Amino acid sequence: MLTYLKVPAGQYVLQTAAGSVLGRQVIQLAKHWGIKTINVVWRAEQKEELKALGADEVISTDEDEDVATRVKEIIGGKLAYGAIDPVAGTLTKQVVASVRDGGQVFLCGSLGGNDITIGMGDLFRGVCVTQWNLYHEMASAERRKVFTDGVSKLMEAKIIVPLVGETYDLGDFQLAIKKTLEVARGGKVLLSS
Protein backbone atom coordinates (compact mmCIF):
# COMPACT_ATOMS: atom_id res chain seq x y z
CA MET A 1 0.00 0.00 0.00
CA LEU A 2 2.81 2.38 0.86
CA THR A 3 4.35 1.71 -2.56
CA TYR A 4 1.07 2.40 -4.37
CA LEU A 5 0.51 5.67 -2.49
CA LYS A 6 3.80 6.92 -4.01
CA VAL A 7 4.52 9.16 -1.02
CA PRO A 8 7.69 11.16 -1.72
CA ALA A 9 10.47 11.08 0.86
CA GLY A 10 9.95 13.82 3.42
CA GLN A 11 6.16 13.86 2.98
CA TYR A 12 3.63 12.48 5.49
CA VAL A 13 1.47 9.39 5.29
CA LEU A 14 -1.41 9.01 7.75
CA GLN A 15 -2.45 5.60 9.06
CA THR A 16 -5.06 4.32 11.49
CA ALA A 17 -4.65 1.24 13.72
CA ALA A 18 -0.98 2.15 13.91
CA GLY A 19 -0.42 -0.04 16.97
CA SER A 20 -1.32 -3.16 15.00
CA VAL A 21 1.29 -5.47 13.49
CA LEU A 22 0.57 -3.98 10.05
CA GLY A 23 0.77 -0.43 11.44
CA ARG A 24 4.15 -1.11 13.01
CA GLN A 25 5.45 -2.52 9.73
CA VAL A 26 4.23 0.60 7.87
CA ILE A 27 6.17 2.74 10.38
CA GLN A 28 9.33 0.67 9.85
CA LEU A 29 9.12 0.71 6.05
CA ALA A 30 8.23 4.40 5.87
CA LYS A 31 11.20 5.27 8.09
CA HIS A 32 13.47 3.23 5.80
CA TRP A 33 12.15 5.09 2.74
CA GLY A 34 12.36 8.53 4.38
CA ILE A 35 8.57 8.96 4.56
CA LYS A 36 7.19 10.65 7.66
CA THR A 37 4.28 9.03 9.50
CA ILE A 38 1.29 10.31 11.41
CA ASN A 39 -0.16 7.38 13.30
CA VAL A 40 -3.62 7.08 14.82
CA VAL A 41 -4.11 4.76 17.81
CA TRP A 42 -7.02 4.00 20.12
CA ARG A 43 -4.97 3.96 23.33
CA ALA A 44 -2.68 6.77 24.48
CA GLU A 45 -0.27 4.32 26.15
CA GLN A 46 0.86 3.24 22.67
CA LYS A 47 2.27 6.67 21.79
CA GLU A 48 5.75 6.32 23.29
CA GLU A 49 6.14 2.73 22.13
CA LEU A 50 5.42 3.70 18.51
CA LYS A 51 7.70 6.75 18.69
CA ALA A 52 10.49 4.46 19.90
CA LEU A 53 9.81 2.28 16.84
CA GLY A 54 10.27 5.29 14.54
CA ALA A 55 6.83 6.93 14.32
CA ASP A 56 7.12 10.66 13.70
CA GLU A 57 3.79 11.60 15.27
CA VAL A 58 1.08 9.67 17.11
CA ILE A 59 -2.53 10.82 17.61
CA SER A 60 -4.71 9.08 20.19
CA THR A 61 -8.46 8.95 19.66
CA ASP A 62 -9.05 8.04 23.33
CA GLU A 63 -7.75 11.50 24.21
CA ASP A 64 -10.45 13.02 21.96
CA GLU A 65 -7.86 14.35 19.56
CA ASP A 66 -9.45 15.48 16.30
CA VAL A 67 -7.41 13.79 13.60
CA ALA A 68 -7.82 16.40 10.84
CA THR A 69 -7.00 19.30 13.21
CA ARG A 70 -3.92 17.52 14.57
CA VAL A 71 -2.67 16.62 11.08
CA LYS A 72 -2.83 20.28 10.05
CA GLU A 73 -1.01 21.30 13.25
CA ILE A 74 1.71 18.69 12.68
CA ILE A 75 2.29 19.58 9.01
CA GLY A 76 2.00 23.34 9.45
CA GLY A 77 -1.45 23.82 7.92
CA LYS A 78 -0.94 21.24 5.18
CA LEU A 79 -2.52 17.81 4.79
CA ALA A 80 -1.09 14.28 4.55
CA TYR A 81 0.03 13.07 1.13
CA GLY A 82 -2.06 9.89 1.47
CA ALA A 83 -3.52 7.50 4.03
CA ILE A 84 -3.94 3.85 4.97
CA ASP A 85 -7.13 3.12 6.92
CA PRO A 86 -7.78 -0.37 8.34
CA VAL A 87 -10.32 1.05 10.83
CA ALA A 88 -12.96 2.54 8.48
CA GLY A 89 -16.35 3.35 10.05
CA THR A 90 -16.86 6.92 11.23
CA LEU A 91 -13.09 7.53 11.55
CA THR A 92 -12.77 7.46 7.75
CA LYS A 93 -14.39 10.91 7.54
CA GLN A 94 -11.55 12.38 9.63
CA VAL A 95 -8.94 10.44 7.67
CA VAL A 96 -10.23 11.64 4.28
CA ALA A 97 -10.42 15.22 5.61
CA SER A 98 -6.73 14.90 6.57
CA VAL A 99 -5.49 14.05 3.04
CA ARG A 100 -4.36 16.58 0.42
CA ASP A 101 -6.43 17.55 -2.61
CA GLY A 102 -6.18 14.73 -5.13
CA GLY A 103 -4.73 12.39 -2.51
CA GLN A 104 -5.47 8.71 -2.02
CA VAL A 105 -6.92 6.83 0.95
CA PHE A 106 -6.65 3.04 0.97
CA LEU A 107 -9.30 1.24 3.04
CA CYS A 108 -7.91 -2.16 4.02
CA GLY A 109 -10.09 -3.26 6.90
CA SER A 110 -13.27 -2.61 8.83
CA LEU A 111 -12.26 -2.55 12.49
CA GLY A 112 -14.63 0.39 13.06
CA GLY A 113 -17.56 -1.05 11.14
CA ASN A 114 -18.61 -2.02 7.64
CA ASP A 115 -20.05 1.38 6.71
CA ILE A 116 -17.91 4.48 6.17
CA THR A 117 -18.65 8.17 6.34
CA ILE A 118 -17.04 10.63 3.92
CA GLY A 119 -17.58 14.37 3.61
CA MET A 120 -18.79 15.51 0.18
CA GLY A 121 -16.38 18.46 0.30
CA ASP A 122 -13.48 16.01 0.49
CA LEU A 123 -14.74 14.16 -2.58
CA PHE A 124 -15.00 17.49 -4.40
CA ARG A 125 -11.35 18.11 -3.45
CA GLY A 126 -10.56 14.97 -5.45
CA VAL A 127 -9.58 12.74 -2.54
CA CYS A 128 -9.91 9.19 -3.84
CA VAL A 129 -11.05 6.47 -1.42
CA THR A 130 -10.25 2.95 -2.62
CA GLN A 131 -10.48 -0.49 -1.10
CA TRP A 132 -7.12 -2.30 -1.02
CA ASN A 133 -7.01 -6.07 -0.68
CA LEU A 134 -3.92 -8.23 -0.28
CA TYR A 135 -5.69 -11.22 -1.82
CA HIS A 136 -6.22 -9.23 -5.01
CA GLU A 137 -2.55 -8.26 -5.01
CA MET A 138 -1.55 -11.91 -4.71
CA ALA A 139 -3.90 -13.15 -7.47
CA SER A 140 -1.26 -13.67 -10.15
CA ALA A 141 1.85 -15.77 -9.64
CA GLU A 142 4.04 -12.96 -11.02
CA ARG A 143 2.70 -10.35 -8.59
CA ARG A 144 2.85 -12.83 -5.73
CA LYS A 145 6.54 -13.51 -6.45
CA VAL A 146 7.41 -9.80 -6.64
CA PHE A 147 5.56 -9.16 -3.37
CA THR A 148 6.96 -12.10 -1.41
CA ASP A 149 10.52 -11.58 -2.68
CA GLY A 150 10.39 -7.90 -1.75
CA VAL A 151 8.96 -8.48 1.72
CA SER A 152 11.38 -11.35 2.36
CA LYS A 153 14.36 -9.12 1.57
CA LEU A 154 13.03 -6.38 3.86
CA MET A 155 12.58 -8.90 6.67
CA GLU A 156 16.01 -10.46 6.13
CA ALA A 157 17.56 -6.98 6.33
CA LYS A 158 15.53 -6.38 9.52
CA ILE A 159 13.91 -3.30 7.99
CA ILE A 160 10.54 -4.87 8.74
CA VAL A 161 10.46 -6.79 12.02
CA PRO A 162 7.13 -8.51 12.77
CA LEU A 163 5.69 -8.12 16.25
CA VAL A 164 5.41 -11.62 17.63
CA GLY A 165 3.48 -12.23 20.83
CA GLU A 166 3.19 -15.48 22.70
CA THR A 167 3.87 -18.88 21.15
CA TYR A 168 1.69 -21.88 22.04
CA ASP A 169 2.12 -25.58 21.43
CA LEU A 170 -0.31 -26.89 18.84
CA GLY A 171 -2.03 -28.95 21.56
CA ASP A 172 -2.83 -25.69 23.40
CA PHE A 173 -4.66 -24.19 20.43
CA GLN A 174 -7.69 -23.31 22.59
CA LEU A 175 -5.51 -21.14 24.86
CA ALA A 176 -3.98 -19.55 21.75
CA ILE A 177 -7.41 -18.73 20.37
CA LYS A 178 -8.41 -17.19 23.70
CA LYS A 179 -5.23 -15.08 23.64
CA THR A 180 -6.01 -13.76 20.15
CA LEU A 181 -9.23 -12.26 21.49
CA GLU A 182 -7.38 -10.09 24.05
CA VAL A 183 -6.83 -6.39 23.38
CA ALA A 184 -3.16 -5.32 23.53
CA ARG A 185 -1.90 -8.90 23.45
CA GLY A 186 1.57 -7.76 22.37
CA GLY A 187 1.79 -9.17 18.85
CA LYS A 188 0.64 -12.08 16.74
CA VAL A 189 -0.05 -15.33 18.54
CA LEU A 190 1.85 -18.26 17.06
CA LEU A 191 1.20 -21.99 17.15
CA SER A 192 4.10 -24.46 16.97
CA SER A 193 4.38 -28.21 16.93
pLDDT reported for residue 185: 65
Model confidence at 163: pLDDT above 80 = no
pLDDT level of residue 30 (50, 70, 90 thresholds): very high
Query: Which of 14, 35, 25, 27 is CA-nearest to residue 91?
Result: 14
DSSP 94-123: HHHHTEEEEEEEEE---TT-S-----HHHH
Model confidence at 127: pLDDT above 90 = yes
Give tens-digit pLDDT for 87-96. Answer: 999 999 999 9
| Single pTM value for the model | 0.85
pLDDT level of residue 184 (50, 70, 90 thresholds): low
Give tens-digit pLDDT for 39-66. Answer: 999 989 899 999 999 999 999 998 877 9
Average pLDDT over residues 66-85: 96
